[in-house]
Structure 1
Amino acid sequence: MSTQHDPILVTGGTGKQGGATARRLLADGIPVRALVRDPDAPAARALAEAGAELAIGDFDAPDTLVKAATGARGVFVVPPATYRADGWDGDLEAQRGIALVDAARAAGVDHVVFAGIASMGDASAWGAHGKERIEQAVAAGGLRYTVLRPVRFMENYLLQGSPVDGIADGVHRHLFPAERPLQMIAVDDVAIFAALAFADPDRFHGQFLELAGEAITPVDAAAALARATGHQVRYEEVSEAEAAAIGPEIHTVWRVTRETGGWHADIPALRELHPGLRSLETWLASGGADRIRSLIDT
């Protein structure tokens, strides 16, 4: 029988969602065990210094996952995705996620929270089928579970070197229609929803939560970034031909976004669960603008 004193095993702790979740749980006084491959990596050391216990393991070595999950009362599942020249390797991502679900069940874990991706059209067409298969494994695993489906991250404005997203030379280029509201969420808010689920697994068992904190047109978002940073930022909508040239999955996202109307998280309902849910403006005011400004200035 697990207790509140048993740790939450957080995977992806050296990445965005896992790192934010580990920090949120630690701030709430919840013991955290972070799965890492290299305990001497800077991000792993930072987790240890923040109070996390480190468990050495690898998604491609299932025995290490069982060992890491043993004694944990919950597992935060964010398997590493693999992107190859021909697109996302969803099959490998699914294999890794399912291995962790199997390990959690073998270790007697009480509750699994999986952070996947918001639904929009056919998941197999744009590289999300791996996450879809993990969701199915989580739901069929016989454990209490919660599935989080975040939309695009506000932190994506910080990306560099990507053919879409980020800001380069004062331009934010992306696939989304310029004048249609685009949903987005702060990574720290994903962590808060994960913490809410771990704090009340009975309430959140079986829930699939589409997560967003803002719905704003890309043009208006660019204007908000410009106001907050003091730098010129404008939005440029990628054409279908450009999207197709980048790759078939990018082209599919371009098309499916227009066919389906995009993501559909119920933001008012989410704000009832988490009243501090960030809008783009509050994210910018709480450090986002400073980070973007720093990148532009350098």
Structure 2
Amino acid sequence: MTRLIAVCGATGNQGGSVAKLLLEHQDKYRVRALTRNPDSPAAQKLAELGAEVVKADLSIPEDLQQALRGCWGVFGVTNFYDTKIKDDPSSEERQGKNLVDAAMANGVECFVWSTLPSSHQISGGRLVSRIYEGKHHVDDYIREKRCPAVFLYTGNFYENMIFRSHMRYNRELDRVEFHQPVIKPDTKLAMLYVQRDLSAVTKAVFDNWDSRKEELNHQYLYVANARVTPLDILASVKKVTGKDGIYEVLPSTGVPDRDIMFQLYNEMGMYGSKELPDENILKLGVEMHGIDDFVREMLAPHLGLPVL
């Protein structure tokens, strides 16, 4: 019998990766793709792949009660950069709690929650980013409500080099130019290839839930492959494409909370001395992918560069 999985943010980077991977395994899973805009091209593409596309707004509890009806599992994520949240950052926490309430009311058996640690705790209260805190507070709510869940601590997304236009190829100078706000050239970032690895870890949790529920319930999985500096990324580009590159630090992202988050990375990183990749993810049978994989599969084609 196939299991119905509700995927939040199904037209975005995180949710989209999960939805697409589960849709490759329709013998085991059915996907209910939650989106505020079911008519978008991305939503229609998911429908063509076999997803049930449902209109749902995480800010509206009634939407979620209906959207999660009959679901065995949920992939939950909120987006700080959503205009609704940017204009009212506290609403991210409310959205997450709405999702937990709906999961509990509908008897969801496995809730996978994409989250972040507390920047307040990491920095001793000196560098507090609401991008972190809203998600972190939902973790406490999940435990309080005894919602059966797994927490995914995500790394920085390799895909942001494309989605946020951090990197481009200057044909005139025949070089790759990497422009990123705040992050220093030698700052080590815990990095994640979302399309490859976030989706694989989420599916592995669903696959293993029945046999390993006691072990997995309320466990934190660090979904990042390695700590990589901007200069390491340019070295990978050189290795894969043969092109030299330069790195420039921009003064600001234009979003104060994001600037604070990046300064946190510069000074103390995200996950302390946690060894990456996480041994608990390796135990699930997931082989994580690194910067060379991302450059070869996504970044080089995006830049219009051939692979050596």
TM-score, structure 1 normalization: 0.84
**Contact persistence 1:118–1:151 (CA under 8 A):** no
Following superposition, the deviation at residue 83 of structure 1 comes to 5.6
Cα distance between partner residues in 1 of 2:9 and 2:134: 16
In structure 2, list runs of 5 or more residues that go unmatched. Answer: 171-176
Give the alignment of 1:106-125 within 5 angstroms.
106-117=105-116, 120=119, 121-122=122-123, 125=128
- Change in CA separation of 1:275 and 1:67 when aligned onto 2, cut-off 3 Å: closer
User: 1:167: Cα distance to partner?
Assistant: 4.1
Which of 200, 221, 237 is residue 225 of structure 1 equivalent to? Answer: 237
Between stretches 77-86 and 199-208, larger displacement belongs to 77-86
Q: Name 1:129's counterpart in structure 2.
A: 133
1:263 to 1:139, Cα distance in 2 relative to 1, 3 A: same
Contact 2:79 2:92 in 1 (8 A): yes
Q: What is the aligned-residue RMSD (CA, Å)?
A: 2.7
Residue pairs, 1:87-98, within 5 angstroms:
89-98=88-97
**1:128-162: per-residue Cα shift (whole Å, max 9, x none)?**
2111122222222222100111111010110346x
CA distance in structure 2 between the aligned counterparts of 1:83 and 1:58, rounded to whole angstroms:
12
Cα distance, 1:67 vs structure 2: 0.9
Under a length normalisation based on structure 2, what TM-score does the superposition of the two structures give? 0.82
Say whether residues 1:11 and 2:24 are aligned partners.
no
Structure 2 residue aligned with 1:288 = 299
* Among candidates 179, 183, 190, match of residue 183 of structure 1: 190
Contact between 1:229 and 1:292, CA under 8 Å: does it hold in 2? no
Instruction: Give the structure 2 partner of residue 63 of structure 1.
Output: 62
1:189-204 to structure 2, matched below 5 A, reads: 189-201=197-209, 202=213, 203-204=215-216
The one-letter code of the counterpart of 1:69 is L
Separation in structure 2 between the aligned mates of residue 36 and residue 85 of structure 1, nearest angstrom? 14
**Residue pairs, 1:1-298, within 5 angstroms:** 5-29=2-26, 30-82=29-81, 89-117=88-116, 120=119, 121-122=122-123, 125-127=128-130, 128-160=132-164, 165-167=166-168, 170-188=177-195, 189-201=197-209, 202=213, 203-238=215-250, 242-243=251-252, 246=254, 248-264=256-272, 265-268=274-277, 269=279, 270-293=281-304
Residue identity in the other structure for 2:160:
N
In structure 2, how many angstroms separate the alpha carbons of the residues matched to 1:69 and 1:84? Answer: 24
Q: Deviations over 1:77-133 (max 9, x none)?
A: 112334669967431111111111111111111111111235652588112211112
CA distance in 1, matches of 2:72, 2:199: 17
Identity of aligned residues (%): 27
The change in CA–CA distance for 1:56 and 1:246 in structure 2 (over 3 A counts) is closer
- CA distance change for structure 1 residues 37 and 57 in 2, over 3 Å: closer, same or farther? same
Q: Name the CA distance, whole Å, in 2 between partners of 1:93 and 1:104.
A: 17
180 and 56 in structure 1: CA distance in 2 versus 1, 3 angstrom threshold: closer
